[in-house]
Amino acid sequence: MVNRREFLQATATAGIAMAAADLVHAAPSAAVPTKVQIPEAEKIVITVITDNLSDANRVDDKIAKRPTFNTDPLELVFHGEHGLSYHIEATVDGRPHCCIYDFGSDARGILRNLDLLKLDLSKVEALCLSHDHFDHEAAIVEVLRAKRNEFTKGIPFYVGEQFFAGTYKLWQGGKIAAQNRLPKAELEGLGLVKITDVKGPTQVIPGVYLPGKIEMVTEYEKLNPTYLAKKGNEYVQETFPGEQAVIMNVKGKGLVVLSGCAHRGIVNTLKQAQRMTGINKVHAVMGGCHLVNAKPEQILKTVADIKAINPDYFIGTHCTGFEAMTAFAREMPDKFILNTAGTKYVI
In order of 44, 58, 62, 311, the CA distances from 253 in angstroms are: 11, 26, 15, 10
Assign 155 a pLDDT band (cuts: 50, 70, 90): very high
Residue 308 has a pLDDT of: 98
Residue 27 has pLDDT above 70, yes or no: no
Beta bridge partners of 194: 156
Of 11-15, 57-61, 114-118, 326-330, the least confident = 11-15
Residue 10 has pLDDT above 60, yes or no: no
Backbone angles phi, psi at 286, to 5 degrees: -145, 135
Beta bridge partners of 259: 287
Residue 30 has pLDDT above 60, yes or no: no
Ranges of each domain in the chain: 4-346
Quick one: which of 298, 297, 280, 281 has its CA closest to 289? 298
Residues contacting residue 340 through CB under 8 Å, at least 6 positions apart: 48, 51, 53, 54, 55, 58, 66, 78, 80
Domain 4-346: assigned CATH number: 3.60.15.10
Residue 4 has a pLDDT of: 41
Residue 126 has pLDDT above 70, yes or no: yes
> Which of the pair, 20 or 156, is modelled with greater confidence?
156
pLDDT in tens, 39-86: 999 999 999 999 999 999 999 999 999 999 999 999 999 999 999 999
pLDDT in tens, 277-292: 999 999 999 999 999 9
CA pair distance 294, 275, nearest whole angstrom = 27
CA pair distance 155, 148, nearest whole angstrom = 11
**What order do you get walking across the sheet with 254-259 strand by strand?**
202-205, 208-210, 246-250, 254-259, 282-288, 313-317
Residue 143 has pLDDT above 60, yes or no: yes
For the chain, give the mean pLDDT: 92
What does the pLDDT average to over 156-180?
A: 96
What does the pLDDT average to over 130-138?
A: 98
Residue 31 has a pLDDT of: 62
What does the pLDDT average to over 218-239?
A: 96
What does the pLDDT average to over 300-314?
A: 98
What does the pLDDT average to over 298-311?
A: 98
C-beta of residue 202 within 8 angstroms of C-beta of residue 156 = no
Residue type, 110: I
Quick one: which of 128, 92, 124, 130 has its CA closest to 250? 92
pLDDT in tens, 201-216: 999 999 999 999 999 9
Three-state DSSP at 150 gives: coil
Helix 296-309 and helix 266-277, axial crossing angle in degrees, nearest 10: 20
What does the pLDDT average to over 283-306?
A: 98
CA pair distance 84, 152, nearest whole angstrom = 23
What does the pLDDT average to over 117-130?
A: 98
What does the pLDDT average to over 163-169?
A: 97
Residue 34 has a pLDDT of: 73
